[in-house]
């Protein structure tokens, strides 16, 4: 089994990562664009996600009703994701059918039509998608917390966008966004699976190299100013259950502190699972579970960081116990945060976090789609080496590092606390 990957930059700037994996007759092909909600101004929030939807609406060569059937007919699975920093498209296909995916992706890198009637019907589809999100108390709370945490930086708004902008954006807005960001020199292609590297690279060159490079997209440069004092907010809505979200400011994934913080996350809230196509593990012996769930302040607690381009958030989400008040849970949380900032963690806890990460990596490597995912994903915020050396970097973390980052990043003055207050009030 050959698992080394190759990296090539085509003459038009498209970066291509290839990894042969010959365990099953499957290939997963990914195209990643450096465009997400961070590239959106007010009035056009949600535009990157909407463009992603329009990428399924056809080109002259692959009209809409042909496109969605073509992949399915060959037994492929495909999807796309828009995130704050990037937009990604993948097809996982039987190995002998991958050419269709390559042709499709090269075609829609520059030839999507954005027909006005398709834009119109997609407008209401996305509004419906947003309404589905709005049904969820945790979406309501998360949106409010995020917009409070980022007053200046475009991480301010949700990827789905604001309803006001979904109603008013035009076909021209969408098409211009597409043309500005969907460029080979703003993209990374990652292919993993059952192929020969030289043959695959030759085919990718043939299909993608004729697409001309474009002007490097302009980026918004609006760093978030430092926060000087805790901010609290509340959201009211239907239901009988209260939730609290506490967000601390975290560094970018390429920052050296990201690794001790990952260890800290693991022991505070259970390890975050960064795999997109593989489940995580439970967190019932994490410090926060023991302090909050076992002691019946909350019925569940989760924490997680995300790997981002600009500094983002570490979010702790608590579902409050029906007999408790949100303030009581927050006070119990604060005691644990205080403890980790003041007391050194044990070597055993660190070793445990590393073993957990090793297991999650092994689960993620079972599936070829997830391996294709990682090659491109890591490129979006660092590079593939970040992923390949992740366990080594985690293994180098010391108890002193963990305490230092706990002290630095878990400051009460630099957090946002949001509470969801249910209309039915407390049951007890």
Give me the least distance between CB of 118 and another protein, in Å please: 9
**Residues 39, 41, 45, 48, CA torsion sign:** negative
Residue 234: DSSP 8-state: E
Residue 118: DSSP 8-state: H
Pick out residues in 317-376 that bind another protein (CB under 8 A): 319, 321-323, 352, 355-360, 362-363, 365-369
- Of 70 and 180, the one with the shorter C-beta distance to another protein is 70
- Of 262 and 283, the one with the shorter C-beta distance to another protein is 283
**Which ranges constitute the DSSP H helices of 18-97?**
47-54, 64-73
Give me the least distance between CB of 357 and another protein, in Å please: 7
190: part of which helix (H) or strand (E)? strand 187-193
**Residues 121, 143, 278, 190, CA torsion sign:** positive
Give me the least distance between CB of 166 and another protein, in Å please: 12
Q: How many residues bind another protein (CB under 8 A)?
A: 82
Q: How far apart are CA 367 and CA 264, in angstroms?
A: 28
Q: How far apart are CA 138 and CA 316, in angstroms?
A: 12
Which string of x and - marks every residue 91-110 that binds another protein (by CB under 8 A)? -xxxxxx-------------
- Of 7 and 99, the one with the shorter C-beta distance to another protein is 99
Q: Is 24 in the site for another protein (CB under 8 A)?
A: yes
Give me the least distance between CB of 22 and another protein, in Å please: 9
- Of 96 and 216, the one with the shorter C-beta distance to another protein is 96
Q: How far apart are CA 67 and CA 115, in angstroms?
A: 15
- CA 113 vs CA 46, 55, 171, 187, 330: distances in Å: 19, 9, 10, 20, 51
Reference 201, options 10, 2, 26; nearest CA is 10
Pick out residues in 144-203 that bind another protein (CB under 8 A): 194
Which residue in the set 294, 327, 343, 388 belongs to the binding site for another protein (CB under 8 A)? 294
Which residue in the set 154, 271, 303, 326 belongs to the binding site for another protein (CB under 8 A)? 271
- CA 84 vs CA 99, 157, 221, 308, 330: distances in Å: 30, 9, 15, 8, 28
Q: Is 407 in the site for another protein (CB under 8 A)?
A: no
Which string of x and - marks every residue 71-90 that binds another protein (by CB under 8 A)? -xxxxxx-------------
Q: Is 421 in the site for another protein (CB under 8 A)?
A: no
Q: For residues 36 and 83, is the Cβ–Cβ distance under 8 A?
A: yes
Give me the least distance between CB of 314 and another protein, in Å please: 20
Give me the least distance between CB of 121 and another protein, in Å please: 4
Q: Is 290 in the site for another protein (CB under 8 A)?
A: yes
Which residue in the set 185, 278, 315, 317 belongs to the binding site for another protein (CB under 8 A)? 278
Pick out residues in 27-66 that bind another protein (CB under 8 A): 56, 64-65
Q: How far apart are CA 269 and CA 272, in angstroms?
A: 8
Give me the least distance between CB of 367 and another protein, in Å please: 4
Helices 116-134 and 137-149 cross at an angle (nearest 10°) of 100
Pick out residues in 115-154 that bind another protein (CB under 8 A): 120-132, 134-135, 137
- Of 91 and 186, the one with the shorter C-beta distance to another protein is 91
Reference 200, options 414, 355, 8, 400; nearest CA is 8
- Of 10 and 26, the one with the shorter C-beta distance to another protein is 26
Which residue in the set 284, 339, 347, 407 belongs to the binding site for another protein (CB under 8 A)? 284
Number of Cβ within a 10 Å radius of residue 35: 27
Give me the least distance between CB of 322 and another protein, in Å please: 6
Q: How far apart are CA 64 and CA 31, in angstroms?
A: 19
């Amino acid at each position: 089994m050959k698992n080394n990957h190759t990296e090539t930059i085509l003459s038009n700037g498209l970066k291509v990562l290839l990894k042969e994996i010959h365990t099953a007759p499957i290939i997963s092909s990914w195209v990643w664009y450096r465009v997400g909600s961070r590239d959106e101004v007010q009035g056009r929030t949600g535009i990157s996600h909407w463009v992603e939807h329009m990428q399924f609406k056809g080109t002259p060569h692959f009209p809409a009703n042909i496109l969605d059937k073509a992949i399915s007919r060959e037994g492929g699975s495909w999807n796309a994701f828009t995130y704050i920093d990037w937009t990604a498209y993948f097809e996982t296909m039987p190995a002998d059918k991958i050419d269709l995916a390559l042709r499709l992706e090269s075609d829609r890198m520059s030839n999507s039509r954005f027909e006005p009637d398709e834009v119109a019907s997609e407008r209401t589809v996305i509004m419906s998608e947003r309404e589905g999100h709005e049904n969820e108390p945790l979406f309501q709370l998360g949106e409010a917390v995020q917009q409070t945490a980022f007053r200046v930086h475009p991480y301010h708004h949700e990827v789905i966008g604001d309803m006001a902008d979904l109603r008013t954006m035009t076909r021209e807005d969408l098409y211009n966004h597409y043309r500005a960001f969907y460029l080979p020199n703003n993209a990374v292609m990652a292919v993993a699976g059952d192929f020969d590297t030289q043959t695959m690279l030759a085919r990718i060159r043939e299909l993608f190299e004729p697409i001309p490079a474009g002007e490097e997209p302009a980026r918004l440069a609006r760093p978030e100013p430092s926060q000087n004092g805790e901010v609290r907010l509340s959201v009211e809505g239907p239901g009988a259950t209260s939730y609290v979200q506490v967000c601390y400011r975290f560094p970018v994934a390429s920052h050296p502190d990201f690794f001790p913080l990952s260890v800290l996350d693991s022991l505070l809230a259970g390890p975050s699972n960064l795999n997109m196509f593989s489940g995580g593990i439970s967190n019932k012996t994490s410090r926060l579970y023991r302090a909050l769930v076992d002691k019946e302040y909350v019925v569940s607690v989760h924490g997680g960081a995300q790997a981002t381009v600009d500094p983002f958030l570490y979010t702790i989400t608590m579902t409050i116990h029906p007999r408790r008040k949100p303030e009581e849970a927050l006070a119990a949380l604060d005691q644990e945060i205080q403890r980790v900032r003041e007391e050194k963690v044990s070597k055993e806890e660190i070793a445990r976090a590393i073993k957990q990460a090793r297991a999650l990596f092994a689960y993620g490597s079972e599936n070829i789609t997830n391996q294709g995912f990682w090659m491109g994903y890591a490129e979006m915020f660092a590079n593939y080496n970040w992923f390949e050396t992740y366990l080594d970097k985690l293994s180098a973390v010391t108890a002193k590092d963990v305490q230092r980052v706990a002290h630095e990043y878990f400051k009460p003055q630099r957090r946002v606390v949001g509470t969801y207050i249910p209309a039915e009030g407390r049951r007890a």
